[in-house]
Each structure stands twice: as structure tokens, then as C-alpha cells.
């Protein structure tokens, strides 16, 4: 202001009107650049300078002409009003920009919440809200399970907010705190699902309510997803039960029907030749064995699920286990099995009977799902993680989305539901036995076609729970 007065008085030698307008422009510039207080201070300096340098008598603060008093008063009022209007416009512009930024942040937050489908969605939503809104401390109290998600507990001493505050707000439905540290009820319609604590950044009540509403919507979405998942699990359980009943009905009814037919034939219509009688007795023997196998599988699976397996671990030769498992499958084409054991004296720390049962189930699965004249490769080898046994076939393979599901009880692939007999218990039994030993089992497709079941056991002397 001093430089402007000096320029108007000494350099340019302008008249009083020009000087007044120039000073008024400077007052407006101060209001636009800084604010109302700075503009009023500049106005007072302008009035004093205008009086001293441009109103007679010059060089004094005395005003001789009464009309100059009016001019001076008008100048002061004009400067103050103009500065106030300019400062108000600036403040509103800043508020508009801040509001636009907050709307943008809320939009980004809503997208982040609604697109998040992780298992820990509520915790992730709270963390994302704090990061997007730049709120140092944010926490959500879930009234349904009494759990707090966020950083309230670690920052409670700094913010002054406590778990009790969040519980009280969730119970009463009344917000507490101020713009810097507050707890807001989270409502879903008329129902309060929890409370939201915000601390570290000033936010007005409308923004806090918006954040709480978004969190409530996401909370309900997560609950809906959980309900849908539970319904899907229930539906799959019903499918499992249906598959079990269908499979058991088939596996039990078919041999029983064959046995009954043969017995009836032997009793009612005695065969004329010994060859026919022996054939009927052979059918009865085979179907009885098949019936016994189905019942044994069901009992074995029930034992595995009830965790009643008791391992009698000992050093077992891998080659002997594989050989006996192949013999017990009673496959007429045992020459199709190609066995490789490396090293030949590979030893497994396992229960021999249960491991033989697991190998039988995997071998039987490979036999069912591969052409009759195709080879089945059985390989046992030692790796860093422990002994590995794999059974590979030349069948149609396993769809990608079923690689993990083939080990579920009663599950049968959609390609072979009707083409292959069985209840879907075999691989589930193998999985239970391998996991009881502390090992892992997985399914994979072979590059050249067919599927492979790979079983990995712990190293000798390793605890199953290590």
C-alpha cells in the first residue's frame, strides 16, 4: 500500500479520485488473495494514506472540507464491503472445491467397496475408507458380533474415543464428538448395525453420514453374499446327499438284484449242466464281493470323517505297497500297470494297510476313467518335501473347474456321471488317508492327455502336524 501511495503521489501525481480507485483495486486484490481480515487492514491503511496525501490540508490527518469527510467515509465503507464480498466469494469457491473433492472421494470409496469381494470385506472396506478419505484413524463397530474393525483400539488414547463410546452410540443411535473426532451410528434403514469412529481430519456431519451409509450398504451386501454362500453350501449338501443315495442305491441294488436272480434261478429252475451252475455261482460270488466293497467304502469314509483313524505307522517298502495294491484291485489286465520306483528301496513312514487302501482307491479311479487297453503309470520317487507317489492314466482328463472338487465326497464329474459306475467316495477316502498321514494329494491333467493323481507324504520321522 505504501508503494502504491508513493507512486500515485510522487511519481504519477494523480488526482484524488484516481488514487482512491487505485487503492480500492488494491483492497479488492488483498481480499481475493488472502481474506477478509487482511482486506480490512488494507482498507484502513488506504483510508489513512488517502487522507494524509490527497485530502486537504495535505500532510496532516485533518480534513478541512466536510464534503471530504463524506468522501472518506464512502471510500472506507466501499472498501470494507467490497473486501467482504470478495472474501465471501473466495470462501464459497473454496467450499465448493472442497465439496467436489469430498463427493469425488465418496464416489471412489463407493466403487472400492462395491467391487471388493475378498473374504475379509468389512475390514478391507474400513481400511480403504481411511486411505481414500485420508482419515488417520477410522474404526467400525459391528454390533452383531461385537467386533471392531479398524484402528480405534490402538489410537484410543490419542483420539479420546473408546470402545465404550462406539457401543453406546450403536445402542442409543445418537452421534457424539466433533468434526475432528466423532462416532456416528451406522444405520441400515431403521435398524442400527453398528457405529463408525472417525478421528484426525475435520469432516462435517453430512460427510460422516454418507460414509456411514456406504459402510451400511456394503455391510448388508457382505451379509447377502454370506447368505448366498451358505445357501450354495446347503444346495451342494443336498446334491451330495442325492448323489450318495443314487450311488448307493445303484451300487447296492445292482449286485443284490444279480444275486437274487442267480439264486432264484438255482432254486426254481435247476441248471441242466454243471457249467451253467458254476457260472451262476461265480456271478453270485462277484456281486457279493462288489456289494462288500461298496459297504466297506462307506464305512471307511465314515471313519475318516469321524476322525477315528488310528495310524499304525511303520517303515513300509513303497514297491511292495504298490504291488499289493495292484493285486487287490483284481484287474484282469494287470500287465497294463507300469511301475517305476526310484530309488528301488524307497521306504514310506506310513500305515501299510491304510496306504494300500488309498493306493487301491486311486488305482481303481484310474482304471474306471481310462480305456481298457491303455497303460496306467505308477511312479514313486523321493523328493525334498518327502516321498511322492503318482498314478497317471490315458483317460479323458479332468475339467479345470473340477480339479479340486474330485476329492469331495460323493462328487462325480459331469462328463462321467452316468458313464462310469461308482458313488464318488474313492478319492475322498484316499484324500482322508493321505491327510491323516500329514501328506497332501492333488489332481492334474497330463500334457499328452489323461489325468494324474499325485500323493506327497512327509519325510520319514516327520510329524504329521509339522
pLDDT tens-place string over residues 179-192: 778 888 888 777 88
Cell of 213: 451409509
Q: For residue 14, is pLDDT > 70?
A: no
Cell of 2: 505504501
Question: Are the beta carbons of 406 and 424 closer than 8 angstroms?
Answer: no
Q: Is 190 helix (H, G, I), strand (E, B) or coil?
A: coil
Q: For residue 462, is pLDDT > 60?
A: no
Q: What is the mean pLDDT of residues 358-381?
A: 89
Cell of 96: 465448493
Average pLDDT value over all residues in the chain: 75
DSSP letter, residue 450 = S
Q: What is the mean pLDDT of residues 41-57?
A: 71
How many beta carbons lie within 10 A of that of residue 72, not counting itself?
18
Q: What is the mean pLDDT of residues 245-274?
A: 73
Q: Is 186 helix (H, G, I), strand (E, B) or coil?
A: strand
pTM listed for this prediction: 0.43
Q: What is the mean pLDDT of residues 364-380?
A: 88
Question: Are the beta carbons of 125 and 116 closer than 8 angstroms?
Answer: yes
Q: What is the mean pLDDT of residues 120-129?
A: 70
Any idea how long the chain is? 466
Amino acid at each position: 500500500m505504501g508503494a502504491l501511495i508513493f507512486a500515485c503521489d510522487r511519481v504519477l501525481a494523480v488526482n484524488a479520485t484516481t488514487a482512491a480507485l487505485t487503492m480500492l483495486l488494491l483492497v479488492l486484490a488483498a481480499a481475493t488473495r488472502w481474506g477478509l481480515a487482511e482486506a480490512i487492514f488494507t482498507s484502513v491503511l488506504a483510508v489513512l494514506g488517502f487522507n494524509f496525501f490527497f485530502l486537504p490540508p495535505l500532510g496532516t490527518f485533518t480534513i478541512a472540507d466536510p464534503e471530504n469527510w463524506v468522501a472518506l467515509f464512502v471510500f472506507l465503507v466501499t472498501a470494507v464491503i467490497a473486501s467482504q464480498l470478495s472474501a465471501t466469494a473466495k470462501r464459497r469457491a473454496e467450499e465448493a472445491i472442497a465439496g467436489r473433492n469430498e463427493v469425488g472421494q465418496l464416489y471412489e470409496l463407493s466403487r472400492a467397496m462395491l467391487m471388493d469381494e475378498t473374504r475379509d470385506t468389512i475390514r478391507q472396506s474400513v481400511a480403504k475408507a481411511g486411505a481414500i478419505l485420508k482419515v488417520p484413524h477410522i474404526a467400525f463397530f459391528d454390533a452383531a458380533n461385537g467386533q471392531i474393525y479398524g484402528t480405534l483400539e490402538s489410537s484410543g488414547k490419542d483420539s479420546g474415543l473408546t470402545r465404550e463410546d462406539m457401543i453406546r452410540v450403536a445402542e442409543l443411535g445418537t452421534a457424539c464428538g466433533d468434526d475432528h473426532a466423532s462416532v456416528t451410528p451406522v444405520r441400515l434403514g431403521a435398524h442400527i448395525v453398528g457405529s463408525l469412529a472417525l478421528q484426525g481430519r475435520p469432516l462435517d456431519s453430512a460427510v460422516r453420514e454418507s460414509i456411514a451409509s456406504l459402510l451400511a450398504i456394503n455391510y448388508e451386501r457382505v451379509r447377502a453374499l454370506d447368505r448366498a454362500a451358505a445357501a450354495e453350501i446347503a444346495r451342494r449338501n443336498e446334491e451330495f446327499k442325492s448323489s450318495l443315495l443314487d450311488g448307493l442305491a445303484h451300487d447296492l441294488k445292482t449286485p443284490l438284484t444279480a444275486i437274487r436272480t442267480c439264486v432264484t434261478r438255482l432254486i426254481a429252475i435247476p441248471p441242466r449242466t454243471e457249467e451253467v451252475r458254476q457260472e451262476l455261482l461265480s456271478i453270485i460270488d462277484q456281486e457279493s464281493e462288489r456289494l462288500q466293497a461298496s459297504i466297506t467304502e462307506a464305512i471307511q469314509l465314515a471313519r475318516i470323517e469321524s476322525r477315528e483313524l488310528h495310524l499304525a505307522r511303520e517303515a513300509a517298502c513303497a514297491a511292495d505297497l504298490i504291488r499289493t495294491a495292484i493285486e487287490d484291485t483284481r484287474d484282469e489286465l494287470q500287465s497294463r500297470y507300469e511301475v517305476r520306483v526310484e530309488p528301488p528301496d524307497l521306504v514310506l513312514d506310513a500305515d501299510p494297510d491304510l496306504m494300500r487302501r488309498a493306493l487301491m482307491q486311486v488305482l481303481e479311479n484310474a482304471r474306471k476313467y481310462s480305456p481298457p487297453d491303455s497303460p496306467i503309470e505308477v511312479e514313486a520317487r523321493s523328493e525334498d518335501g518327502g516321498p511322492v507317489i503318482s498314478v497317471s492314466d490315458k483317460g479323458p482328463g479332468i475339467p479345470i473347474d473340477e480339479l479340486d472338487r474330485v476329492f469331495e465326497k460323493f462328487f462325480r464329474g459331469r462328463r462321467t456321471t452316468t458313464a462310469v459306475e461308482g458313488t464318488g467316495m474313492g478319492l475322498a477316502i484316499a484324500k482322508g488317508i493321505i491327510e491323516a498321514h500329514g501328506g497332501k494329494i492333488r489332481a492334474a491333467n497330463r500334457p499328452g492327455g489323461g489325468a494324474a493323481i499325485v500323493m506327497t507324504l512327509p519325510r520319514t520321522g516327520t510329524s504329521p502336524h509339522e
